[in-house]
Amino acid sequence: MGLVAFEEHYSIRELAGVRADYMRRIGFPAVEKPGAGAGLGRILSDVEEVRLPTMDRLGIERQVLSASSPSVQGLTDAGEAVRLAARFNESVAEVVRAHPDRFSGFAALPLQDPPAAARELERAVRELGLSGALVNGHTDGLYLDHPSLRRVWAVAEGLGVPIYLHVNDPIPGQWRNLEDFPELLTAAWGWGTETGTHALRILCGGVFDDFPGAKLLVGHLGEMIPYALWRLDNQWRGQFDGSSLTESSGPPRIRELPSFYARRNLYVTTSGNLSAPALRCAIDVLGISQVLFAADYPFEPTEDAVRFLADAPIAESEREAIGWRNAVSLLKLT
């Protein structure tokens, strides 16, 4: 089987201006996303002209299509978010129906309205045939560990589908130590720090105690979490034995150490982190079953991602697992 790529972006015309509007609203520096430029909207919405020929040439059998940041997470009006999420999901479903052997899809979720988001996830999977959801970071400061979003996790667990946590710009002022370094605010560091912290909120916020069968995907080989997992556990142990608790901290939020949930509920993809030592770390810390292939089309060169996996100094069984076997299991492919 050819490669299955998990973080491959698609868009519709109605979402074209959301990022620019969002950046103006939050007052974030106008730093362009990698790969952005003239014709990006056409590339994102394309299927036949460039996308499929590129997949054929590079041996990618299937892309899992998803919205790029901020998508509906960048909207303030809940009604508009509900409408555009439904429109995006229907468009992705049309592509999947037209090419069922080449594409799967992750739904956009209007988390501004948690009950509507839960209903949309159910509709997207049961009626539209999508394979889960992708959330582009926080939704106006609302993170996926928030109690109001437990109903979304309940639907995801019940359907047996994953939620992919994709990068987004942080809340304005959150990373003041980077204010003088705009080149670090986005893909180089800021997005990863924001997304890794968001993922840790989910791991350490009790979501996977409530929903042990839920699955969280993150890109860039785990947004630094595998590298830091020993230290996270080591610091957390003091809360379990009471030695580091203060009056204000209260009892531990979770029943197990962070690594327990990381190895059971967290999956990481290779998108945008083509480092052999980082890949080895992710495999050794999380287990080979938790690592997936992604190219981050069209924001990163797909050729580089494919070549990286082909040349990585790992066992052939590991290469096969990352390239497609784990995807078959996670997405229930035949």
Q: Quick: pLDDT tens for 189-205.
A: 988 999 999 999 999 99
Phi, psi of 113 (to 5 degrees): -125, 90
- Stretch 225-234: mean pLDDT: 96
305 pLDDT higher than 80: yes
Catalytic residues: 296
Is the pLDDT at 45 greater than 90? The verdict is yes
- Count Cα neighbours of 204 within 13 Å in the Cβ-side half-sphere: 18
Q: What is the pTM of this model?
A: 0.93
Average pLDDT over the chain reads 92
Give the pLDDT band (50/70/90) at residue 274.
very high
Q: What angle do CA 120, 55, 59 make, to 5 degrees?
A: 120
* Domains by residue range for the chain, with CATH: 3-331 (3.20.20.140)
From the list 155, 167, 164, 96, the residue with the least C-alpha distance to 134 is 164
Rounded to 5 degrees, φ, ψ at 101 are: -90, -5
Measured CA angle at 317 (ends 314, 322), to 5 deg: 75
The candidate with the shortest Cα–Cα distance to 128, out of 75, 165, 85, is 85
Residue 332: closest CA among 159, 210, 134: 159
For the record, the structure tokens of 156 come out as 């995801």
The pLDDT of residue 67 is 96
Judged against a pLDDT cut of 60, whether residue 85 lies above it is answered with yes
For residue 16, the model assigns a pLDDT of 82
In this predicted model, which residue has the larger pLDDT, 158 or 39? 158
Contact 6, 323 (CB under 8 A): no
Q: Please report which confidence band the pLDDT of residue 179 belongs to, taking 50, 70 and 90 as the band edges.
A: confident
**Which amino acid does the sequence have at 274?**
L
**18-38 average pLDDT score:** 63
Reported as type and span, the H/E element at residue 9 is: strand 3-9
Instruction: Give the whole-number percent of the chain exceeding pLDDT 70.
Output: 93
pLDDT at 172 over 90: no
Task: Copy the structure tokens of residue 11.
Answer: 């868009």
**pLDDT tens column, 95-124:** 999 999 999 999 999 999 999 999 999 999
Beta-carbon contacts of 157 under 8 Å, excluding residues fewer than 6 positions away, are 211, 212, 213, 214
What pLDDT is stored for residue 176 in this prediction? 80
Angstrom distance (rounded) from CA 8 to CA 214? 22
pLDDT of residue 17: 78
According to the model, what pLDDT value does residue 15 have?
87
DSSP bridge pairs for 105 = 65
The Cα-based distances of 1 to 63, 157, 304 in angstroms read 13, 28, 20
**What is the predicted pLDDT for the residue at 244?**
66
pLDDT for 135: 98
Q: Give dist(CA 67, CA 74) in Å, integer.
A: 12
pLDDT (tens digit, 9 = 90+) per residue, 207-221? 999 999 999 999 999
Residues 6+ apart with CB under 8 A from 116: 78, 82, 110
Residue 250: per-residue pLDDT: 67
**Diameter of the chain measured on Cα atoms:** 61
pLDDT at 298 over 90: yes
Q: Are 25 and 17 in contact (CB under 8 A)?
A: no
Q: Report the DSSP beta bridge partners of residue 134.
A: 164
Give the pLDDT confidence score for residue 24 in this predicted structure.
75
Least confident segment among 6-10, 140-144, 237-241, 258-262: 237-241
Residue 252 has a pLDDT of 72
Give the span between the Cα atoms of 192 and 169, in whole angstroms: 10
What's the gap between Cα 239 and its chain centre? 29
CA distance 6 to 201: 23
Distance of CA 25 to the CA centre of its chain: 24
In the prediction, which pLDDT does 246 show?
64
Q: Which residue has the tokens 């790529």?
A: 5
